[in-house]
Structure 1
Amino acid sequence: MPPPDASTDAGTESAPESATESSAADRADAQDTLDLRLPDELIALFGTGEPGEQGAAGHPGDADEAGETRTGEGEGAGVRTADRAPAPAVRSAADDLLDNVADWGPATTSAGVFQLVPVCVERDLSLISRWMNDPAVAAFWELAGPDAVTEAHLRGQLDGDGRSVPCLGVLDGTPMSYWEIYRADLDGLARHYPARPHDTGLHLLIGGVADRGRGLGTSLLRAVADLVLDHRAASARVVAEPDLRNTPSVSAFLSAGFRFSAEVDLPDKRAALMVRDRALRAVL
């Protein structure tokens, strides 16, 4: 996925590094390469299909600066109510693989009050499809075309088992970004890095040209990573895989408290594996 708005104006303050902090970071890095245990959920899903079949389809690039980015116009997005799409009847709260994203609530950021609102196809398709047809977005997501193309991508997640939840990012009442919150350990990505149980992945695109290149993606990435860690007690890490060539995107993740873990070869790109660790969240 194309990372968010990696603008150069989004600076990071480097926190003083103590011996204890260095040790914690070293341990986290070491675990990246040592923990290869398959998660229980993945084992349980072997009978129903390959992990990642339903996930965030296509693992789009991450939001780059233009495309956190990947953006379409944000015009016409208008103020929308935060009503949620009804969950499939077969899925109960107890079965929710992502701990009820719809109930995570708002986060206060430097840009305003931000909230993830699960996508309702009937309400949101036109807006998201318009974003996907922006050339800066299409270069990473590859979902340009008629509304049916975007609809198939959304329904593939909404009709699945809940391992990926597509959301609108609503800032001060206005939809301005598209997110996919997904179980990285149950996704195809898990074949390409030493996944840990409950790793949570992010895909992001920013919908409006005016919202790119000013550090907004960094602020929202940090806010959403914090929402994940606050509401998913079992998740020790938030991960992302922006295209390695997408320097602005990688920069945005670094500024948002993620660390560069490794280069990984995915089917559609060479990616930078970015990780935000719960243990290091107060430091980075």
Structure 2
Amino acid sequence: MPPTDAEAATGQAPATAPPLRTTEAGTDGADTLELRLPDDFVARFGGTTGTRTPAVADLLDGVGDWGPTLTPVGAFQLVPVRLERDLPLISRWMNDPAVAEFWQLAGPQDVTEIHLLAQLDGDGRSVPCIGLLEGTPMSYWEIYRADLDPLARHYPARPHDTGIHLLIGGVADRGRGLGSTLLRAVADLVLDRRVPCARVLAEPDLRNAPSVAALLSAGFRFAAEVDLPVKRAALMIRDRSLRDLL
């Protein structure tokens, strides 16, 4: 389990969405949007999952192949981290005081590198990703198997429970509700692409009130307080069965 929680800050970034190609019925009757990406986006981010060990078991149903989704703030996509491309940017974000307070990864670049390598060279239970909004990197995500994580020792885990960690990188993107919008979009992506998964989880620090509020606005419910090794956390859950109600 990464030692950090879902990100507290929210924001907004304007741009023009890629053209829509098709709409098809998705899981639970939700529509799945297939978007055509700009050529310069494909050139920069396409063609690889970004992991250092391609032979690792796919425990998360191909996060790198989930593709873009259309949100109220534009086209958004999760792209698995490539260390040589993304480390400087992620390290810079981790050294923002507002982020460092909860992620605890401030310091030289190799602090962030060690954190990323633990996932990239691991068994595939956690996938670190860059979040692209209209093709612009603006957030860092970790999509992980909560049922296979040490977190499962601290709550009644169910098979295929999937967890989310998030930080919004730019100060200008925070405080405008962007975090809630993207948390909802990514939780819905998980439920659409991971059919066996019935619940999406987050476990922000209880002190991180903006993060808890963002998750509530994104359709998560407060389930419990849990004592984790590095924090007292709010266990937040988005249920497949309630996704159209919350």
Aligned partner letter, 1:123: R
Partner in structure 2 of residue 90 of structure 1: 55
Taking the TM superposition and a 5 Å limit, the aligned residue runs for 1:127-276 are: 127-276=89-238
| Structure with greater strand share of residues | 2
**CA contact under 8 A between 1:182 and 1:201: conserved in structure 2?**
yes
- Deviation of 1:247 (Å): 1.4
Sequence identity of aligned pairs in percent?
71
Q: Does structure 2 conserve the Cα–Cα contact (< 8 Å) formed by 1:177 and 1:204?
A: yes
CA contact (8 A) 1:57 1:156 kept: no
In structure 1, stretches of 5+ residues that fail to align are: 1-55, 70-78
> What amino acid does structure 2 have at the position aligned with 1:236?
A
Instruction: Give me the TM-score of the superposition, normalised by structure 1.
Output: 0.73
User: Higher relative contact order at CA 8 Å, sep ≥6: structure 1 or structure 2?
Assistant: 1
Alpha-carbon distance in structure 1 between the residues aligned to 2:92 and 2:140: 12
Runs of 4+ with >6 A deviation: none
Separation in structure 2 between the aligned mates of residue 89 and residue 107 of structure 1, nearest angstrom: 25
TM-superposed deviation, 1:158: 0.5
Greater gyration radius: 1
| Aligned residue identity for 1:57 | P
The amino acid across from 2:66 in the alignment is W
In structure 2, stretches of 5+ residues that fail to align are 12-39
Q: What SS does the corresponding residue of 2:53 show, helix, strand or coil?
A: coil
Measured in 1, the distance between the counterparts of 2:55 and 2:173 equals: 38
Q: For residues 204 and 246 of structure 1, what CA distance do their matches in structure 2 show?
A: 13
Aligned residue for 2:87, secondary structure, equals helix
Q: Aligned residue for 2:68?
A: 106
Deviation at 1:88, TM superposition (A): 1.4
Q: Take 1:258 and 1:89, find their aligned partners in 2: how far apart are those partners?
A: 33
CA RMSD, aligned part only?
A: 1.4
Structure 1 pair 268–86 and aligned structure 2 pair: CA distance change class (3 A):
closer
Shift in Å at residue 89 of structure 1? Answer: 3.8
Aligned residue type for 1:88: T
Structure 1 residue 62 corresponds to structure 2 residue 25: no
Q: How many residues align?
A: 214
